[in-house]
Amino acid sequence: MKYLKGMIALVIVVIIAIAAWIWTGSYNVGADSPHWAFTRYVIGQLREHSIESRSADITVPNLDDPALVAEGAHHYAEMCTGCHLAPGMGDSELREGLYPRPPNLTHFAPDPAEAFWIIKHGIKMTAMPAWGKTHDDQKIWAMVAYLQKQPHMSVERYRELAGLPAMAPVMTHEATSPATTDSAVPAMSAPMTVTPAAPSSAAAPAKAASTH
């Protein structure tokens, strides 16, 4: 009985200490302040097991259908490249500032069932949205099908599938380095000024490649 009372007192003290710590504001919620290694480990485990158990029963359809891949490329180019990049894109300013940083999906093909679940439901406390609120399962599978091919896809093939102009220069929109003509950034015929509010017809393709 004495032991139990001691335990209850300890729990109350810990709760008060945590509440006091929260109210002092000492925790830094800034996205540029990384988690402790322990916090990162716990979040990683939580994420992995949660997604694994929820995607275990998902039946993966045939993802090799070229029409499905092409449809997925369209959706992906419209909604995902600002965070996950695409063939021929440099890093985006949006991705650079996010914590956790979205994975570069040109580097690996995610597991199909898990990718379907993640795209549909999103991931709490990250920037990954739940696209299932606005897209049906067929459209989500199309994006999953496209993601399986993306790591081996050429820039030309990507732009063709996504319906983007073939010759549009790829713009990385580097704030720190002004326009240069290094080999990664093809020389542009128009001046490299970004006009976010009212894109001219010449700037539109480049803008679509970098921000949607």
Q: In what helix (H) or strand (E) does residue 73 lie, and over which residues does it extend?
A: helix 66-79
Q: Does 132 bind ligand HEC (CB under 6 A)?
A: no
Q: Does 119 bind ligand HEC (CB under 6 A)?
A: yes
DSSP type of residue 132? G
Query: Residue 35: which residues within 8 A CB-CB, separation 6 or more?
Result: 43
> d(Cα 74, Cα 14) in Å, to the nearest integer?
52
Count, residues near ligand HEC per rule CB under 6 A: 21
Residue 143 binds ligand HEC, judged by CB under 6 A? yes
Least Cα distance to 105 among 79, 131, 68 occurs for 79
Residues 173-192 that bind ligand HEC (CB under 6 A): none
168 is an interface residue for ligand HEC by CB under 6 A: no
Question: Residue 84 CB, nearest distance to ligand HEC (Å)?
Answer: 5
In this structure, what token pair is assigned to residue 127?
């920037």
Position among 77, 85, 89, 115 found at the interface with ligand HEC (CB under 6 A): 115
Residue bearing tokens 């300890």: 10
Residues that bind ligand HEC (CB under 6 A): 47, 76, 79-80, 82-84, 98, 100, 102-103, 110, 115, 118-119, 123, 126-128, 131, 143
